[in-house]
Amino acid sequence: MSDNKLPLVIEPNILEESLTYDNLLVVDLSKIENHLKMHVPGAIHLNYPRIIAASRPAMGLVPDDATLENEFSALGIDEHTHVVAYDDEGGGRAARLLWTLEVAGHKHYSLLNGGLHAWANEGHPLESSTVPPTAKTFHARRNNEPFADSAYISERLDSDDCRLLDARSPDEYNGIKKYAERAGHIPGAVNLEWTRAIDTDRNLRLRTDEELTAMLAPLGITADKEVITYCQTHHRSAHTYIMLKQLGFEKLKGYAGSWSEWGNNPDLPVE
List residues with catalytic annotation.
Answer: 231
**Are the C-beta atoms of residues 126 and 189 closer than 8 Å to each other?**
no
Residues 6+ apart with CB under 8 A from 111: 8, 9, 10, 84, 85, 86, 91, 94, 95, 98, 242
Partners of residue 61 on adjacent β-strands = 53
Report how far residue 185's alpha carbon sits from residue 169's, in angstroms, rounded to the nearest whole number: 11
Let me know how long the chain is.
Answer: 271
SS3 131: coil
Query: Chain centroid to CA 30: how far?
Result: 14
Report how far residue 129's alpha carbon sits from residue 77's, in angstroms, rounded to the nearest whole number: 21
Among candidates 215, 186, 197, 227, which has minimal Cα distance to 111? 197
Residues 118-152: b if buried by 16+ CB within 10 A, e if exposed: bbbeeeeeeeeeeeeeeebebebeeeeebbbebee
